[in-house]
Amino acid sequence: MAAQSVTRLPGAGPGGAPTPVAHVRPVMVLTCPVATGRTTRRGETTGHSRRNVLRAGALLALGGAAAPLTGCGLLDRGDEPAPEPDPLTPLLDESLRLAAGHRDAAAAHPTLAALLTPIAEAHRAHAAELARLVGVPLPSGSAPATTATPGDPAAARAALRESERAGREAATSACAAAPAERAALLASIVAARATHVEALK
- Give domain status of residue 165, yes or no: yes
Provide mean pLDDT across the span 56-68: 50
* Residue 62 domain-assigned (yes or no): no
Q: At 175, give phi and psi (nearest 5°).
A: -65, -40
d(CA 113, CA 85): 35
Q: Which of 28, 25, 29 is nearest to 3 (CA)?
A: 25
Q: Which residue stretches of the chain are H helix?
A: 50-71, 89-108, 113-134, 153-177, 180-199
Higher pLDDT, residue 50 or 165:
165
Q: How confident is the model at residue 25 (pLDDT cuts 50, 70, 90)?
A: low
* Domain assignment present for 76: no
Q: Let me know if 2 is exposed, middle or buried by CB neighbors in 10 A (0-12, 13-18, 19+).
A: exposed
- Is 97 part of any domain? yes
Q: How confident is the model at residue 66 (pLDDT cuts 50, 70, 90)?
A: very low
- With bands split at pLDDT 50, 70 and 90, how would you rate the model's confidence at 4? very low
pLDDT band at 59 (very low <50, low <70, confident <90, very high): low
Q: Would residue 51 count as lying in a domain? A: no
pLDDT digits (tens, 9 = 90+) for 125-163: 999 999 999 999 998 766 666 678 999 999 999 999 999
Q: CATH number of the domain that 153 lies in?
A: 1.20.1260.10
**Closest to 196 measured CA to CA, from 124, 115, 130:** 115
Residue 84 has pLDDT above 70, yes or no: yes
Q: Is residue 103 in a domain?
A: yes
- Residue 194 inside a domain? The answer is yes
3, β-bridge pairs: none
Is residue 63 in a domain?
no
d(CA 90, CA 82): 18
Question: Bigger pLDDT: 59 or 190?
Answer: 190
Average pLDDT over residues 95-116: 96
Per-residue pLDDT at 55: 61
Query: Could you tell me the residue range of the domain that residue 136 belongs to?
Result: 89-199
- Percent of the chain predicted with pLDDT > 90: 52
Domain count, the chain: 1
pTM for the model = 0.60
Could you give the C-alpha distances from 101 to 92, 124, 158, 190, in angstroms and in order?
A: 15, 11, 12, 18
- 146 versus 106: the higher-pLDDT residue is 106
